[in-house]
Amino acid sequence: MRPIGVAPGAASLQLVGGVSLLRPEEQVFSAMLAGYANQQLARNLARSTVEGREHTVRAFSHYVNAFPWQWSPAMIDEWLGDLRSLRELKRSTIRSYSEAVRSFCHFVTDPAYEWTTTCEERFGTHPIQVVHEWNTAQHVQATEADPKKRAFTKKELHEFFAYADDQVARIRAFGRKGWLPAFRYATLFKTAYAFGLRRNETRMLDAVDFARNVAGQEFGEYGLCRVRFGKAKKGSPPKQRSVMTVWDWTPDILDEWFSEIRPLLGADGSPAAWPSERGARIGCQRLDSRFVAYRRELGLDDGLDFHSLRRSYVTHLIEDGWDPRFVQEQVGHEHASTTSIYTCVGSDFRKRTLRRHLDGVVAAALAGPEVLS
């Protein structure tokens, strides 16, 4: 039980006072990282986030070959410069690395956690904050996504889905069992697009997450999709939302999957909509690898990734005249500006919009001044 008044991650909780350490530098550093993890978990951050930050701090320490109480701003300059110039990492990746080190330094220099005092006693020096505004890039834009990333055109999307269906037919024609996983991928990709889902939102769906919608009775049992593992904010649980079905072909593919195909996988005891042969549900890495394989076979550029299915959903609804506010609610964006970033309308749509507007102006002018007023 933690003593009252002692912060989670404090040195007194990680090190036994008065005990001589065999490898003091390494053991104190490990204790610091353990305390840092406890502090981050106490903030309710995801374990994957905590582990990623710990890995980054270890990587920085290994690069500069120094322990935290020996770090200096010049070291972070050299490390980040190397990441940018030699490894050519993305700006957002470098910023996340610098944020991890900044957060760690903030933790070990906070008097509440006693690490500065501990280091002074053991090593005659103490850690300092090495990440500042003047030696790291600032996040000033709404998005820093790779400009190559884009939505499918409707023609490309049709080709992609047709190719996924062809793989099912081809494998099945040879009498091989692989047609069931191929069918799963084909249906999963279509579902991600049909509801504008993120990758993890799609893979975490259960069979019971599809239901009727009183406002769309024509869609039957698949009138809406309940997303229970939406993108979470820091320290918060996954954000949930319900996405209404908008295309009439969606219920057909889902009904075929759940009624005829999924039972063949022997997944009676699994709640997952997309059960895996090796685990409870399909993994993100396998989704990505299958997506990339299909994309390459079709000769499509690498600006298309799994998230492009979500971009396409937003883009195609806007192009088809759906209300932007409705689209924003469907994809679970808090701000309309975020939805606008996803919208990659084609030149044909813009030309039609311009032509419709100009024709309206001309028609109003010909009708007389009273119409213009």
Classify the C-alpha dihedral 195-345-93-35 as positive or negative: negative
Q: According to the model, what pLDDT value does residue 22 have?
A: 75
Q: Which two tokens stand for residue 304?
A: 């298309």
Helices 91-109 and 73-85 pack at an angle, to 10 degrees, of 160
What b/e sequence results for 223-254 when a residue is b if at least 16 CB atoms lie within 10 Å of its CB, and e otherwise? bbbebebbeeeeeeeeeeebbebbbeebbebb
Q: According to the model, what pLDDT value does residue 23 have?
A: 83
Q: Which of 279, 291, 329 is nearest to 192 (CA)?
A: 291
Q: According to the model, what pLDDT value does residue 178 have?
A: 87
Termini Cα distance of the chain: 77
Q: According to the model, what pLDDT value does residue 133 have?
A: 84
Where would I find the H helices in 65-153? Answer: 73-85, 91-109, 115-123
CA pair distance 293, 234, nearest whole angstrom: 33
Q: Which of 154, 232, 161, 216 is nearest to 191 (CA)?
A: 161
Tell me the backbone φ, ψ of residue 88, rounded to 5 degrees.
55, 45
Q: Which are the contacts of 74, defined by CB distance < 8 A and separation ≥ 6? A: none
Residues of the chain where predicted confidence (pLDDT) is lower than 70: 1-9, 12-13, 15-21, 137-146, 235, 279, 337-338, 340-365, 368-373
State the Rg of the chain over Cα: 27
* Whether the model pTM is above 0.85: no
